[in-house]
C-alpha cells in the first residue's frame, strides 16, 4: 500500500469529519453544515446520487427478467443477504453481497449492509416511533445494562427537529409509551384494522392500542418539502429502489443534497476508513486514515471533531482498529467494554388469522405504512417472568383473485376478470426488546483480513432465555387478542430467524454516566476522547422496541449542535 499523501495537509484539513453517509451520518453532516462547519463526509461505498442512481425506480414489473425473483446462483453465493425480505431483483444493487465483504460468525448472525452513499437509508422500512422515558428508564428500573445518561426531555426537541425536516406522517394518539411528535396528516387504518383497534379498547380497558404506524413519508406541507426538492409520497411501495419523488426520507434525497447546497460539505465516496488517528501529545483525535476502495491508496484527513456514524457494528470495528500506545485495545476503550453489550430486536414470531366479517368491503390504492402495537408488557412495573416487552406490527388486507382452476379460454377470461374475494387476512409480527449482555459481542478476528487489509469483524450474538419467554408470551397474547376480536384460523409461527435479520443491531459503544462501565457520555462523546462523537446504533445502551432510526437522527442532530457549542467555548 503506497502512501501517496501528495496533496498538502492543509487541503486535507476540515473542521469536522463525518464517517458514514447513512441515516445518522447524513444528519450529523446536515446539522454541521447548517451551522457553518466545513465538513468532510467519508463513505466507504460508491456514490449514489438522488434519482440519477436509482436505475430500477421506474421499471415496470415485466422489465425485470425474473419478475423480481433472485436467481438461484445469486442466492447460493449470498445466503445471508438472500434471507433479507428486501433483497429482490429491483434493489439487490443496494445490498452488500456476502462474498464481497466477509465476516466471521462465531454464532449465526445475518449481517445486512448497504455500502453506498446513503447507506441503508435507501432501504429502511421508514417506521419512526419516538422513545419515551418508559424506555430510557428501563435498564435502571429493571437492573440490566447501565442507566442511560439521558432522558426524554434531553431528546424531545431534537425528535421534533428531525421529524419536521424528514417529514413524518402520523396521528396524535396520546399514548404514554409512544410520545406524539410533529406529524403530517396520518394514513388511516383500514376498516378491519379499526375494528381490531375498537375490540382492543373494549376488552383491555384502554391498555392496549393499535395505531397507524408513524412513517417517514411526506403526506402534506408540500411547499416546505419542495425546498429539499422532495414531494408527496405517491404510495408506490417501491421505496427500496430509491424514490424519484423523495417521498420518503433518505440521506440521498434529503440531508446530503441539503448539506451540499450550503457549500460546506465535501462528500468523499470510496473511502474505507482504516482508523481514527489519535495524537498522544495533543490528547485528542486529529483525523481519519482512509484506504481508497478502488486504488487501495492510503490517505489521511484531518479535523477538530470527528463523528463516527459507520452503522452500529462497523463503528465498533473502526474504533477497535484505531489503536495507539494510549489506546492499545481500541480508541476510547479503557474499560475493555468496546464491542460488548451488543443487542438487537427479536422479530422471530408471527401470528396470522382470518377475519370473516366485513365481507362487503375491500381496499383500494396504496399506503406506505400499516398498523402498530405499542409495547404493553412490563410498561410501568415488572409483571411477567421475562424482562421488558415487545411492540408489534399489524395489518389486515384483502384482495381480489382470479379463479385459476380451469384451463384454456375459461382460465384466460378468469385471469382478465378477477372476481373472487377471499376473506380478510390479518397478520402480526413481533418486535421484541433484547437485553444487552457482555456475552453478546463483536471483536476483530486476530488473523483474517479483507481486501483492504482491514481485520474481519467476528460476531458472537445469540438469543437467550428471556427472548424465548418473550416469544411465547407474544404468541399467547396476540392469539388471545385475535380471538377476542373474532378472528379465526389463528396460527402462531416462530421462523427461528438468525439475529441480525431484524437489521436493528445496536450497542458495543454504549452511552452511560460512568466511564468505568460505558464508552460514551450523555453527549455521545467518547469519555476518553471527547472530540470523537458516536451517534449511530453503536451508542445504544438498550434497545427498547421502537424502530431505532428516528432516535439515531435525533442523537446526531443533538450531538452536532453540542460539538459546535463546544468549539466556541
Partner 1 sequence: MNRRHALRHIALISGGLALIPSCDFSSDDILAAYEKLKVTASQKELLGVVSNTIIPSGEIKGALDIAVPDFILVMVNDCYTEEAQGKFVNGLKAFPEFAGSGFAGLSAKEREAKIQDGLTLEGDDSEAGQKQKDIAFFLNNTKRLTIQGYMASEYIQTEVIPYSLIPGPYNGAVLISDIQKPRING
- Contacting positions for partner 1 (CB under 8 A): 58, 60-63, 65-67, 69-73, 187-191, 193-194, 234-238, 360-367, 404, 407-409, 411-413, 415-417, 421
Could you tell me the smallest distance in angstroms from the CB atom of residue 61 to partner 1? 5
Could you tell me the smallest distance in angstroms from the CB atom of residue 53 to partner 1? 18
Could you tell me the smallest distance in angstroms from the CB atom of residue 421 to partner 1? 7
> Phi and psi (nearest 5°) for 199?
-65, -40
Closest CB to partner 1 among residues 67, 107: 67
Closest CB to partner 1 among residues 68, 336: 68
Closest CB to partner 1 among residues 58, 488: 58
Closest CB to partner 1 among residues 72, 176: 72
CA-to-CA dists, residue 77 to 7, 98, 456, angstroms: 40, 7, 19
Judging by beta carbons within 10 Å of its beta carbon (0-12, 13-18, 19+), is residue 3 exposed, middle or buried?
Answer: exposed
What separation, in Å, do the N-terminal and C-terminal C-alpha atoms of the chain show? 40
Of 297, 319, 294, nearest to 307 (Cα)? 319
| 286-289 contacts, C-beta under 8 A, 24 or more apart | 287/13, 287/17, 288/17, 288/19, 288/42
As a whole number of Å, the CA-based R_g of the chain is: 24
**Would you tell me how many other CB atoms lie within 10 Å of the CB of residue 292?**
16
> Phi and psi (nearest 5°) for 31?
-70, -45
Could you tell me the smallest distance in angstroms from the CB atom of residue 248 to partner 1? 15
Could you tell me the smallest distance in angstroms from the CB atom of residue 236 to partner 1? 6
Could you tell me the smallest distance in angstroms from the CB atom of residue 238 to partner 1? 7
Q: Are 367 and 386 in contact (CB under 8 A)?
A: no
- Give exposure, 201-222, as e/b (b: 16+ Cβ within 10 Å): eeeeeeebbbbbbbbbbbbeee
Q: Are 528 and 332 in contact (CB under 8 A)?
A: yes
Closest CB to partner 1 among residues 164, 194: 194
Closest CB to partner 1 among residues 69, 489: 69
Could you tell me the smallest distance in angstroms from the CB atom of residue 269 to partner 1? 27
> Phi and psi (nearest 5°) for 553?
-60, -45
Closest CB to partner 1 among residues 226, 406: 406
**Would you tell me how many other CB atoms lie within 10 Å of the CB of residue 60?**
6
Q: Where are the alpha helices (DSSP H) in 35-82?
A: 72-77, 79-82
CA-to-CA dists, residue 226 to 159, 220, 222, 258, angstroms: 21, 11, 6, 12
Closest CB to partner 1 among residues 75, 469: 75
Could you tell me the smallest distance in angstroms from the CB atom of residue 182 to partner 1? 22
Could you tell me the smallest distance in angstroms from the CB atom of residue 367 to partner 1? 4
Cα–Cα dist 518/337, whole Å: 7
Could you tell me the smallest distance in angstroms from the CB atom of residue 228 to partner 1? 21
Could you tell me the smallest distance in angstroms from the CB atom of residue 536 to partner 1? 33
Cα–Cα dist 368/235, whole Å: 6
Dihedral (CA of 304, 310, 312, 314) sign: negative
Cα–Cα dist 344/221, whole Å: 35
Could you tell me the smallest distance in angstroms from the CB atom of residue 218 to partner 1? 13
Q: Quote the crossing angle between the two packed helices 465-484 and 191-204, to the nearest 10°.
A: 100
Cα–Cα dist 461/512, whole Å: 22
Amino acid at each position: 500500500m503506497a502512501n501517496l499523501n501528495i496533496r498538502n495537509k492543509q487541503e486535507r484539513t476540515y473542521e469536522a469529519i463525518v464517517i458514514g453517509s447513512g441515516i445518522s451520518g447524513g444528519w450529523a453532516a446536515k446539522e454541521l453544515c447548517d451551522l457553518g462547519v466545513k465538513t468532510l463526509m467519508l463513505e466507504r461505498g460508491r456514490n449514489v446520487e438522488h434519482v440519477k442512481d436509482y436505475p430500477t425506480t421506474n421499471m415496470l414489473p415485466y422489465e425485470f427478467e425474473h419478475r423480481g425473483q433472485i436467481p438461484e446462483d445469486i442466492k447460493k453465493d449470498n445466503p445471508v443477504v438472500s434471507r433479507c425480505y428486501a433483497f429482490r431483483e429491483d434493489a439487490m444493487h443496494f445490498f452488500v453481497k456476502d462474498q464481497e465483504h466477509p465476516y466471521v460468525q462465531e454464532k449465526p448472525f445475518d449481517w445486512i449492509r448497504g455500502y453506498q452513499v446513503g447507506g441503508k437509508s435507501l432501504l429502511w422500512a421508514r417506521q419512526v416511533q419516538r422513545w419515551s422515558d418508559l424506555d430510557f428508564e428501563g435498564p435502571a428500573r429493571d437492573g440490566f445494562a447501565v442507566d442511560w445518561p439521558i432522558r426524554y426531555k434531553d431528546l424531545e426537541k431534537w425528535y421534533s427537529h428531525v421529524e419536521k425536516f424528514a417529514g413524518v406522517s402520523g396521528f396524535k394518539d396520546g399514548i404514554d409509551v409512544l410520545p406524539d411528535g410533529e406529524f403530517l396528516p396520518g394514513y388511516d387504518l383500514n376498516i378491519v384494522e379499526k375494528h381490531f383497534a375498537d375490540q382492543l379498547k373494549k376488552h383491555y380497558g384502554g391498555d392496549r392500542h393499535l395505531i397507524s404506524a408513524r412513517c417517514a413519508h411526506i403526506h402534506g406541507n408540500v411547499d416546505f418539502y419542495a425546498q429539499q426538492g422532495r414531494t408527496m409520497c405517491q404510495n408506490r411501495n417501491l421505496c427500496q429502489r430509491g424514490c424519484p419523488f423523495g417521498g420518503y426520507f433518505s440521506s440521498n434525497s434529503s440531508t446530503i443534497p441539503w448539506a451540499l447546497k450550503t457549500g460546506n460539505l465535501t462528500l468523499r465516496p470510496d473511502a474505507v476508513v482504516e482508523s481514527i488517528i489519535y495524537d498522544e501529545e495533543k490528547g485528542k483525535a486529529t483525523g481519519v486514515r482512509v484506504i481508497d476502495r478502488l486504488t487501495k491508496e492510503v490517505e489521511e484527513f484531518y479535523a477538530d471533531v470527528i463523528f463516527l456514524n459507520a452503522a452500529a457494528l462497523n463503528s465498533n470495528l473502526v474504533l477497535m482498529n484505531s489503536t495507539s500506545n494510549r489506546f492499545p485495545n481500541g480508541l476510547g476503550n479503557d474499560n475493555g467494554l468496546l464491542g460488548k453489550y451488543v443487542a438487537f430486536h427479536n422479530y422471530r414470531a408471527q401470528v396470522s388469522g382470518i377475519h370473516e366479517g366485513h365481507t362487503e368491503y375491500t381496499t383500494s390504492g396504496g399506503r406506505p405504512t400499516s398498523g402498530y402495537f405499542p409495547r404493553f408488557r412490563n410498561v410501568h412495573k415488572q409483571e411477567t417472568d421475562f424482562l421488558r416487552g415487545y411492540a408489534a406490527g399489524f395489518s389486515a388486507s384483502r384482495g381480489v383473485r382470479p379463479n385459476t382452476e380451469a384451463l384454456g379460454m375459461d382460465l384466460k377470461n378468469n385471469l382478465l376478470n378477477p372476481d373472487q374475494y377471499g376473506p380478510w387476512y390479518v397478520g402480526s409480527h413481533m418486535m421484541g426488546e433484547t437485553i444487552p449482555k457482555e456475552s453478546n459481542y463483536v471483536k476483530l478476528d486476530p488473523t483474517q483480513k479483507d481486501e483492504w487489509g482491514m481485520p474481519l469483524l467476528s460476531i458472537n450474538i445469540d438469543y437467550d432465555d428471556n427472548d424465548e419467554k418473550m416469544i411465547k408470551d407474544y404468541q399467547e397474547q396476540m392469539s388471545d387478542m385475535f380471538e377476542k376480536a373474532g378472528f379465526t384460523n389463528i396460527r402462531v409461527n416462530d421462523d427461528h430467524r438468525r439475529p441480525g435479520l431484524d437489521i436493528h443491531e445496536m450497542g458495543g459503544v454504549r452511552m452511560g454516566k460512568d466511564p468505568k462501565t460505558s464508552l460514551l457520555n450523555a453527549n455521545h462523546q467518547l469519555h476518553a476522547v471527547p472530540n470523537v462523537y458516536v451517534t449511530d446504533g453503536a451508542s445504544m445502551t438498550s434497545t427498547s422496541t421502537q424502530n431505532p432510526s428516528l432516535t439515531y437522527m435525533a442523537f446526531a442532530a443533538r450531538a452536532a449542535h453540542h460539538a459546535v457549542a463546544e468549539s466556541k467555548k
